Chain A
């Protein structure tokens, strides 16, 4: 089943300069009871965003109208903890297309890539540059070019390259799906099974 094709992004960004943002913060376990992939954005960062009465917490960045955009910039070790793909679904469902950090947890990174959400890993210093630029001007435009594997700040031109597995890059740029790929090599899999016995 073809999935969404990843387009280049030019957007303002939402800064979340907190380290070790774990998947329980991204989407708390009590919101994992759905049996479909939709609607998790509503509870993204639920307990940071809302108090126990469901009222918006002042001071949390998603409640700050100055910040918007399709790029989320997080602190080091983003997405640690549980393997719940719901974390990637929630971020994507909320409207983000890119998550930037200086370090991602492994499972989160895989889950993001499998859902058209691009994890962009940058150096600690470039991450600081990004946070500073956004803090100084919430209207700062960040550009992400997957083809070129670059992330840059439009105004200053500050730029950095990022790594991505070439296979995953191809999938995102073309909307290819891992399961379609695996189904296409089923004969090889059957042959592998026979060769082991």
Chain B
């Protein structure tokens, strides 16, 4: 019998029951919630007249809707304020731990989970947010769910899920200077397309993945969903254990040592069989950026936007529609375009290493006059650390300002909206039409590439400025 994949090992241990011809009943260890996708689930629980089954396994924070300035004041937008207040009310009523606005642990749900040690190897984790895949970086099975499923978890700590297929993506070699985790994942999605991962759970492997920090690994796993995959995971190793150690909700003392012994077993067997295997070479990966309206439309910054003739005839119409929205010509160079906005932040790239990278890059340089820059920490803890490390000062000296934590311009539910027609280089995860505000145009890239755009005012390969 063939060995098991890491995914199978974790999944199988969490199956409570199998429905004949149907999905598995999967037990969920940790449930994260936020203000946008949970109110209807709480309403469902109340209309059924039941209480939460394991409220201690759910943690809440408001992130999608919150302003990124003046967080000490009441939220101005009435609907946003109502939704955030509703989360507070629901958590109080049902006994759920909430890290509300201004709490030292407040932040984007996928940033605070790891930094508080809630995220650990071998767990099953869900959240009503597709970027829950982030937590897979620790060797957990983590994925986004809909609100009906949020209600299932609140009611029974279980969801009904068909088991996905398994894909392994191996990236070997060594990344060149100026090439980051974000470039790796944008490269992968450009190769397999925005739907190439649909139906699969991805395991990332290879020397490039091993060499990444935990934060880099989170960036890669975060964007698994942008290939259509439900989630992505990476086998835990010493880098993982070192990161988890000492965090608020991580095991400590002997418990930690025992946990590490268990976590060391979390890897795919040598003879495990995947439904699909892909291999890439680090030597081919360079700074990447997207030029279209789905994350699969990415290329090397030095490249040209593909000519229409290079596109499969069946998808040309969609391709041309996408370029028309962006106002780009097929076959034209990607670099050199004038940039109006840059956004550094989100659950993809809003962590301390991202801010450090940007600060290091812009130190001694100036932001281009015409560029509006939004630099948004992923959490209160990231914000505090940026102050302590002097990152805030470096940014200010170069003409940038650090905002307050939240999802911000990634999906523009708050006031951080890129105006119609403006071009933004964003470190977030989606370049869909209007994603950053109605009529906004988004190019996804690494924090380094966003910083280079902020300084030069145009799309530039950051390596030329390192």
Q: A residues touching B (Cβ–Cβ < 8 Å)?
A: 1, 17-20, 22, 24-25, 28-30, 32-37, 47, 52, 75-77, 80-86, 88, 103, 105-107, 110-111, 114-115, 124, 165-168, 178-179, 181-183, 185-186, 188-189, 192-193
CB distance from B204 to the nearest CB of A (A): 19
Known A76-B195, A83-B37, A106-B198; contact A30-B228, beta-carbon cutoff 8 A: no
Instruction: Tell which of B168-176, B357-365, B370-378, B434-442 binds the partner.
Output: B434-442
Are B65 and A33 in contact, CB atoms less than 8 angstroms apart?
A: yes
Assembly CA distance A86 to B64 (angstroms) = 15
Chain A residues with Cβ under 8 A from B82's Cβ? 33, 35
Q: In the complex, A28 Cα to B430 Cα: how many Å?
A: 13
| Nearest CB in chain B to that of A114: its residue | B148
Contact A183 B162 (CB under 8 A): no
Could you tell me the distance between the alpha carbons of A33 and B420 in the complex, rounded to whole angstroms? 21
Q: Which of B110-154 contact A (CB under 8 A)?
A: 128-130, 132, 144-149, 151-152
B residues neighboring A (CB under 8 Å): 16-17, 19-23, 25, 27, 36-37, 39-40, 43-44, 47-48, 50, 53, 64-65, 79-80, 82-83, 86, 128-130, 132, 144-149, 151-152, 155-162, 164, 194-195, 198-199, 225, 228, 230, 293-294, 314-315, 317-318, 321, 411-413, 420, 430, 432-435, 438-439
- B-chain residues with CB within 8 Å of residue A165 when the two chains form the complex: 21-23, 162
In the bound assembly, the distance between CA atoms of A20 and B198 in angstroms comes to: 12
| Residue contact A19 to B318, C-beta cutoff 8 Å | yes
Closest to B38 in A: A35
Give the complex CA separation of A178 and B150 in angstroms.
12
Look across to chain B and name the residue whose beta carbon is closest to the beta carbon of A22. Answer: B432
Q: Is the CB of B152 within 8 A of A179?
A: yes
CB distance from B454 to the nearest CB of A (A): 24
CB contacts (< 8 Å) of A22 on chain B: these are 294, 430, 432
Q: Are A28 and B434 in contact (CB under 8 A)?
A: yes
In contact, B198 and A111 (Cβ under 8 angstroms): no
Residue of B148, B199, B225 near A178 (CB, 8 A) is B148
- Further pairs besides A35-B43, A103-B198: 7, Cβ < 8 Å: A22-B430, A29-B411, A77-B198, A80-B195, A81-B432, A82-B430, A107-B144
Residues of chain A lying within 8 A (CB to CB) of residue B160: 167, 178, 181-182
* 9 tightest A-B CB contacts, nearest first: A167-B22, A85-B146, A35-B39, A33-B79, A83-B144, A166-B21, A111-B146, A114-B148, A19-B318
**A111 adjacent to B148 (CB under 8 Å):** yes
Knowing A20-B195, A179-B48, A179-B155, say if A107 contacts B146 (CB, 8 Å): yes
Cβ of A192 and Cβ of B146 under 8 Å apart? Answer: no
The listed residue (B25, B80, B144) touching A185 by CB distance below 8 A is B25
Cα of A1 to Cα of B43 in the assembled complex, Å: 13
16 contacts between A and B (CB under 8 A): A1-B48, A17-B317, A24-B430, A28-B434, A29-B412, A36-B43, A47-B438, A77-B228, A80-B194, A81-B130, A106-B164, A110-B161, A111-B147, A115-B148, A168-B22, A181-B160
CB neighbours (8 Å) of B315 from chain A are: 19, 76
A195 to chain B, nearest CB (A): 10
Contacts of B318 in A (CB 8 A): 18-20, 75
With A29-B413, A178-B152, A192-B27 as given contacts, are A24 and B44 in contact (CB-CB < 8 Å)? no
**In the complex, A107→B226 CA distance in Å?**
12
Chain A nearest Cβ from B190, distance in angstroms: 14
Closest to B315 in A: A19
B80: A residues at CB distance < 8 A: 33
Instruction: Check if B194 sits within 8 Å of A77, measured CB to CB.
Output: yes
Q: Which residue of A1, A107, A168, A192 contacts B16 across the interface (Cβ within 8 Å)?
A: A192
Contacts of A188 in B (CB 8 A): 16-17, 25
* Residues in A neighbouring B413, C-beta threshold 8 A: 29-30, 32-33
Is B195 a contact of A105 with CB atoms below 8 Å?
yes
